[in-house]
Structure 1
Amino acid sequence: MHSIVPDSINVFNRPRWCTLTPQYHNASRRADLSKHNKYTPVIAGHSKSVVNDKMRAVSVESAVATSVVALTGLLGAVWMYQRHRNTQKDNKPPAEWREVATIQKIHLYPLKSGRRVELQSAECTKFGLKHNSRYEKALQLYDRSFLVVGAENGEFKTARTFPKMVLIEVGVHDEWHVSFEAPGMRQLYVKIPKEGDVKATKITLHQKEEIFALDCGDEAASWCSRYIYGKDTGLRLVFHDAADEHKRDLRPTHQKMLNNYTELNTSTGLYSDLTAVMMINQASIDDLNTKIESDTVITSENFRPNLIISGDGAPPFIEDYWAWIKIGDVILKNVKPCTRCMFTTIDPENGTRNQDREPLHTLEKYRKLKNVLHKEYEGELTVMGAMLGVHQGGEINVGDTIYVGI
């Protein structure tokens, strides 16, 4: 595979370098300085005026040549940018693809803020990843299909506030039940609720977004309350059934975000913050670790991605510029850069916060959205990874080749 160097084209914004002004001005300034330089040397056999005329001619030719080069670059950049805009507008995947990397890890998070489940294979659906039915025959769990909420207001709870939630493990028990385990707690078996058997309700996610939910019962509520709150009541556990009629609609609550990321509303997951799939590049993690000044070592798990990739064609942060991604029959669309919060400072293995605020402290020095992709909206937030929508579903496996659109 060949290394791919970013074309310096912002996938989300007009390229800032599409200008010939600095080069043109520098060339013109050199011409002006030559014209007015009183110390112009006299060459043997030529009068001073002839020399000046020739030097002015050379300066003008240099300025013209520089301008032609700049204009050529400008036209090329505009063409590439317009090609990207047309692809975005039509929402059609490209016809040609280039190999760049492979899948190193696949992670599923059945409980939002819970511990990851590491998979060798998964089904990629429009709602995100789920267990591959060829390997998990009893029950196939979706990514972020369970959520802990407040008993009174239905507001979501995460490890941002309760870090020990990252230690809750969820697994398949049989075709109707899942198991919940956490340090110091007895194992809990939860029956998958079905609409009609239990009352459907609404919970609230970010910006008061209302999302469909099915309550998992009093025993599950008590278990979550005791582990997270240290008391018998206060929390409920809910489940999303991934039915088409229960797909999220961001328009009532996220209009400003949708104005900036126009395909976000058709790319949502179940209880994920936004999109169905999140991908991260191991080379970007490695680059980050070289810049952290303390002894802290950050892993991809700090960022809770679904897909961890690596390869010769995936240097650090190249994923910022990929618009379309193909893995086997699966086609993914890069719809939004993944902005980061304090959750990344929680150790995924023990649930403790990093005292140095890493990796945020280092990311704030060189990975703010306004500096990386020149976006003012969310500009002060840091970026690591890409939020993806599923254009075409299918099976993915560890070791699968990753292609990007040409």
Structure 2
Amino acid sequence: MGAAASSAWNRLGVPSLRLPERPRPAWLGVAAAGLAAVALGTVLWRRARPRRRRRLQQVGTVAELCIYPVKSCKGVSVSQAECTALGLRSGHLRDRFWLVVDETGNMVTARQEPRLVLISLTCGGESLTLSATCMKDLSLPIKTPTTNAVFKCRVHGLEIEGRDCGEAAAQWITSFLKTQPYRLVHFEPHMQPRRPHQLKDVFRPTEQIAYSDVSPLLVLSEASLADLNTRLEKQVKAANFRPNIVISGCGVYAEDLWNELLIGDVELKRVMACSRCILTTVDPDTGVMSRKEPLDTLKSYRLGNPSERKLHGKSPLFGQYFVLENPGTIKVGDAVYLLSQ
């Protein structure tokens, strides 16, 4: 067999044919090479064929998209967003790319400082604006000066960097919370992300997050929220649960059964349910933590399977964590399809 044909067969995992060492007609070599080329072409054609199209079943519609620029602070509702491996993005606003830290670099969330939920960060022109009731708006440059220090921070026990946003931002947040000195840091694209696999082994080792708890995307349905509210004396909002994508037009807790979704050209894969903590008891309008509802009610009917206790602990489950399979743009009003074989 000719060298080219033999190499092609070897690449495909097929052993070379060994012929006796004896003179052979020229036409035999040509024929063997021709057969190898035909076989190679057939295999490559089979490999190049697109995968069988999967069936699409519409399961809902995108009702809301929300980005939370500063972890635990107010969300920004957007009409469309780029879906990236690190979460939603709209212009210069990235989901959980800013973080409040204490003087030792530990993350500070509404679990410790409930009034964080009253702070908003918005973007306009070349500046970012911090806003809160009874505080004068503070404008910050979109690009944090490279002369600012880079801190080593900790989010759920994992180290991650953040560039300090400066004294003005630190004083503004400290003055608003009135408890202890805090600083604001920003995650920059060149910094090393955290790996959710180190927190929950159901995530792939390749998945990445910035300052999010454990996943870049959280999906919740309007139907699930409505069902919860029928069980509560005081209604709660989606903002209590801080989802990125809210879906309408589906059944109650339908999101628990969605493994792969297609929204526009974006493909998402479900990883696990979201375990709920005391942060859900913070009223997003007042910044007051009740420490009871809706968490107590969720515990009465949304506890996970005992076999998954290691994954979820004793926390109730509400909403689902997804990761990105194929990037693109999502818009409010987009149809949400369930992908099936």
Matches within 5 A, 1:6-405: 95-131=54-90, 133=91, 140-151=92-103, 153-175=104-126, 177-194=127-144, 196-206=146-156, 208-230=157-179, 234-243=181-190, 246-250=192-196, 253-254=198-199, 257-258=200-201, 261-263=202-204, 265-292=205-232, 295-311=233-249, 314-354=250-290, 357-370=292-305, 374-377=307-310, 378-405=312-339
Q: Tell me the distance in 1 between the aligned counterparts of 2:329 and 2:80.
A: 7
Amino acid at match of 1:95: R
Q: Give per-residue Cα distances to partners, 1:280-302, cap 9 Å, x unaligned.
A: 0111111111222xx21122111
Give 3-state SS (helix, strand or coil) of 1:364's partner: helix
Q: Displacement, 1:246?
A: 2.0
Give 3-state SS (helix, strand or coil) of 1:362's partner: helix
Give 3-state SS (helix, strand or coil) of 2:283's partner: coil
Q: What is residue 16 of structure 2 aligned with on the other side? A: none
Amino acid at match of 1:325: L
Gaps of 5+ in 1: 1-91, 134-139
Amino acid at match of 2:297: T
Give 3-state SS (helix, strand or coil) of 1:226's partner: helix
Give 3-state SS (helix, strand or coil) of 1:386's partner: strand
Confirm or deny: 8 A CA contact 1:268 1:389 kept in the other structure: no
Q: How big is the alpha-carbon RMSD for the aligned residues of Structure 1 and Structure 2?
A: 2.0
Instruction: Give the alignment's TM-score, normalised by structure 2.
Output: 0.80
Q: Tell me the distance in 2 between the aligned counterparts of 1:242 and 1:322.
A: 30
Identity of aligned residues (%): 34
Give 3-state SS (helix, strand or coil) of 1:384's partner: strand
Structure with more of its chain in strand, by fraction:
2
Instruction: Give the alignment's TM-score, normalised by structure 1.
Output: 0.67
Q: Displacement, 1:192?
A: 3.5
Q: What is residue 21 of structure 1 aligned with on the other side? A: none
Confirm or deny: 8 A CA contact 2:273 2:318 kept in the other structure: yes
The number of equivalent residue pairs is 289
Amino acid at match of 1:142: R
Q: Give per-residue Cα distances to partners, 1:346-365, cap 9 Å, x unaligned.
A: 1111212236x111111101
Q: Give per-residue Cα distances to partners, 1:213-259, cap 9 Å, x unaligned.
A: 1111111111111111356xx2110001233x5222345x53xx21x
Gaps of 5+ in 2: 1-50
Q: Tell me the distance in 1 between the aligned counterparts of 2:142 and 2:179.
A: 25
Q: Displacement, 1:390?
A: 1.0
Q: Tell me the distance in 2 between the aligned counterparts of 1:114 and 1:336.
A: 24
Give 3-state SS (helix, strand or coil) of 2:163's partner: strand
Confirm or deny: 8 A CA contact 1:112 1:144 kept in the other structure: yes
Confirm or deny: 8 A CA contact 1:345 1:354 kept in the other structure: yes
Amino acid at match of 1:147: L
Q: Give per-residue Cα distances to partners, 1:82-113, cap 9 Å, x unaligned.
A: xxxxxxxxxx9982221110011111111111
Q: Tell me the distance in 2 between the aligned counterparts of 1:201 and 1:318.
A: 41
Confirm or deny: 8 A CA contact 1:123 1:396 kept in the other structure: yes
